[in-house]
Amino acid sequence: MALPAPDLNIPHSTATVEVSIIHTTATLTGLDCWKFMAPPIPGHDYLDVPCFCFLVHNPAQGRTVLFDLGIRKDWWNLSPRLTESFEKAGVKLQVEKGVREILDEHGINTSAVEAIIWSHPHFDHTGDPSTFDSSTALVVGPGFKNSLLPGAAENPYSAVLESDYSGRELREVSFDKKTGSIGRFATVDYFGDGSFYLLHTPGHTVDHMSGFARVTSNPDSFILMGGDACHHGGEMRPSPYMPLPSSIRPHPFTDSSSEACPGAMFADILRNGDKTIPFYLPAKLETAPTHHDVDEAIKTIEKIQEADIAENVLVALAHDKSLLGVVDFFPKQANSFMKNGWNLKTRWRFLKDFAAAVHWDGPVVDYEAKAAE
């Protein structure tokens, strides 16, 4: 039986922001699943994923920020340590355009972007801030300066370049009890009007943050920009508040709304056979760990699960292929996600990745191809 949805105790406000999900044209292929999540599920060996970021505009204040930037177009100019690791691991990167190019092509006044907010300083989120005006600040999470500075020119183990932050304001966010909370997240009210919050979501990295945007009022609805708080829907679902359904629509393998997929099909790959816990946990590696603190990452995911059950919250992870072919990407806005039923359409789509594990021998929808239609 599902637990009742927790009250997130979101502060009241009528202020909203306009949010667009940007498909950055960046993709990553060949990422080993076992480095990110456990236990292994047969047939789901690699993560081949897009990179999303977000344009957030506060119309009442005339202020605009970006949440993440995807991968820089000239990724080969990342630190040599990073680029060498791609080749060694068999990871392939493809980037057609930088985020500023994408925005400029659609008439966004990118000189007026007041800040780039990094969810965390990994290359598939940091992009190239140097392509933006020096008046655009770089906003980072707590612990960033202590763990990442100086950049790669002086510290080959740093994930960032001096050009990412030099010549612009580098602002580190501080979370404490005075900044308030949403659910069990410590928060910072970025615009000061209740329209857009930064959430403290550590674990994957020490400084990881997520965004929480109020996109409609009366009724309220919100978009939670998850970054890499988790890397796959199977780390977040099922949950105590959202058990694996007995009947799943749309069908995760075909995207058919008329055909139901029996939840029992996945019984053998559930952890401990439990329909109320996620298929995956963040991977705990002894050497070269992917996550800074796995126990903290699990706590963060548990907090996100409390928001994920809410019909008026869209949880949008940075690499969630389930969004492809369903959501409207920039230059369109995502504010009408409730009206468009995106939660219902995308929530269990990640199960497509388990087709081989459950011996599905029928057709499997190609999300990238569907998105390109």
pLDDT digits (tens, 9 = 90+) for 288-320: 899 999 999 999 999 999 999 999 999 999 999
Give the pLDDT confidence score for residue 179 in this predicted structure: 76
Q: What b-and-e string marks burial along 85-96, b requiring 16 or more CB atoms within 10 Å of the CB?
A: ebeeeeeebebe
C-alpha distances in angstroms, 222 versus 132, 227, 251, 337?
28, 15, 26, 9
Please tell me the number of Cα atoms within 13 Å of 291 on its side-chain side: 27
Query: Residues 67-74: what's their mean pLDDT?
Result: 98
> Where do the domains of the chain lie, and which CATH numbers do they carry?
18-372 (3.60.15.10)
CA distance 17 to 138: 20
β-pair partners for 52: 23
pTM over 0.95: yes
**In the predicted model, is pLDDT for residue 62 greater than 90?**
yes
pLDDT digits (tens, 9 = 90+) for 1-42: 789 999 999 999 999 999 999 999 999 999 999 999 999 999
Query: Residues 148-164: what's their mean pLDDT?
Result: 85
Give the pLDDT confidence score for residue 282 in this predicted structure: 98
Give the pLDDT confidence score for residue 367 in this predicted structure: 85
**Residues whose CB falls within 8 Å of the CB of residue 134, separated by 6 or more in sequence, listed in order:** 167, 168
Residue entry with tokens 């990407």: 329
CA distance 257 to 348: 12
β-pair partners for 227: 317
pLDDT digits (tens, 9 = 90+) for 243-269: 999 999 999 999 999 999 999 999 999
Average pLDDT score over the chain: 95
| Residue 132 near residue 100 (C-beta atoms within 8 A) | yes
Query: Residues 148-162: what's their mean pLDDT?
Result: 84
- ω before 39 within 30° of 0 (cis)? yes
Give the pLDDT confidence score for residue 153 in this predicted structure: 81
Which among 71, 96, 178, 132 has a CA at the least distance from the CA of 188? 178
pLDDT digits (tens, 9 = 90+) for 327-352: 999 999 999 999 999 999 999 999 99
Structure confidence at residue 155 as a pLDDT band (50, 70, 90): confident
pLDDT digits (tens, 9 = 90+) for 100-130: 999 999 999 999 999 999 999 999 999 999 9
DSSP 194: S
CA distance 124 to 142: 19
Say what the alpha-carbon torsion angle 224, 127, 207, 284 is, to the nearest 10 degrees: 90
Give the pLDDT confidence score for residue 370 in this predicted structure: 79
Structure confidence at residue 177 as a pLDDT band (50, 70, 90): low
Residue entry with tokens 């699960």: 305
